[in-house]
C-alpha cells in the first residue's frame, strides 16, 4: 500500500481506477463508505480535493461525505506517516501496559500520537481492541500484528521498521 500512497502523492485528481470503481458501485447501498475506503486505501487518507471530486461524481453533498469521514475513526483527513502504528488501548492491552507503550513510543518518535514525525516516516494512533487480546499488549504496524510487546523491545522494532 505504501507504494500506492507514494504514487498517489503526485496525483492531482481522481485516478481512472477510482472513477471506474465509483461508476460500478454508485447505485449500491453503502457505496459512499466503500468508495471512501477505496480512496483511503489508495491515498492513505482522504485528501480534501478528492473529497470534493467524490461528492461531484456520486452526486452527494460534501457535508455528507465529511459526516461519514468524521463519524468513523477509521478515516483520516491528514496524510499519515510512511509507517503507520496502531497501539491497542482496548481493555486487555490497557491493563497489560498499553499506556507505557504509548509513553515509550512517543519518546522514541519524538512526537505524540496522531502526529507525523518530521521526516514523514511514522505516525501512531491509539485504537480500540484489534481482536487479539490473548497477545496483549498489542501493536499493529503497517497491518502486521506485534503481540506481547515489551517497552524495552520498542526501540528495536522501530529501528527494524525504519530500515524497510
Site residues (vs ligand FES, CB under 6 A)? 88, 90-93, 129-133, 136, 138
Q: Which is nearer to ligand FES, 111 or 147 (CB)?
A: 147
List 139's β-bridge partners, or say none.
Answer: 87, 146
Q: Which is nearer to ligand FES, 19 or 133 (CB)?
A: 133
Q: In angstroms, how far is the first alpha carbon of the chain from the final one?
A: 14
Gap between the Cα atoms of 80 and 46, Å rounded:
11
Residues 6+ apart with CB under 8 A from 98: 87, 88, 89, 90, 126, 136, 137
| Residue spans of beta strands (DSSP E) within the chain | 83-88, 122-127, 139-141, 144-146
* Residue closest to ligand FES (Cβ): 90
Cell of 160: 527494524
Three cell numbers at 103?
Answer: 509513553
CB of 140 to ligand FES, least distance (A): 9
Least spacing, CB of residue 41 vs ligand FES, in Å:
23
Q: Closest approach of Cβ 117 to ligand FES, in Å? A: 24
Decide whether 8 or 130 has the Cβ nearer to ligand FES.
Answer: 130
Q: Which is nearer to ligand FES, 108 or 129 (CB)?
A: 129
- Minimum distance from CB of 95 to ligand FES (Å)? 8
Which CB sits closer to ligand FES, 5 or 93? 93
Closest CB 97 distance from ligand FES, rounded Å? 11
Return the ∠ at Cα 42 (arms to 40 and 43), rounded to 5°: 65
Amino acid at each position: 500500500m505504501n507504494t500506492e500512497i507514494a504514487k498517489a502523492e503526485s496525483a492531482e485528481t481522481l485516478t481512472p481506477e477510482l472513477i471506474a470503481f465509483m461508476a460500478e458501485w454508485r447505485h449500491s447501498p453503502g457505496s459512499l463508505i466503500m468508495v471512501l475506503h477505496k480512496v483511503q486505501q489508495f491515498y492513505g487518507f482522504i485528501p480534501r480535493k478528492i473529497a470534493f471530486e467524490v461528492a461531484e461524481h456520486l452526486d452527494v453533498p460534501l457535508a455528507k461525505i465529511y459526516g461519514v469521514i468524521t463519524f468513523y475513526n477509521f478515516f483520516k483527513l491528514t496524510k499519515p506517516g510512511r509507517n503507520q502504528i496502531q497501539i491497542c488501548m482496548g481493555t486487555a492491552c490497557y491493563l497489560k501496559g498499553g499506556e507505557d507503550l504509548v509513553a515509550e513510543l512517543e519518546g522514541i518518535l519524538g512526537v505524540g500520537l496522531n502526529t507525523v514525525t518530521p521526516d514523514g516516516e511514522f505516525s501512531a494512533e491509539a485504537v480500540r481492541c484489534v481482536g487479539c487480546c490473548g497477545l496483549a499488549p498489542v501493536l499493529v504496524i503497517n497491518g502486521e500484528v506485534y503481540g506481547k510487546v515489551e517497552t524495552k523491545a520498542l526501540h528495536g522494532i522501530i529501528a527494524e521498521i525504519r530500515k524497510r
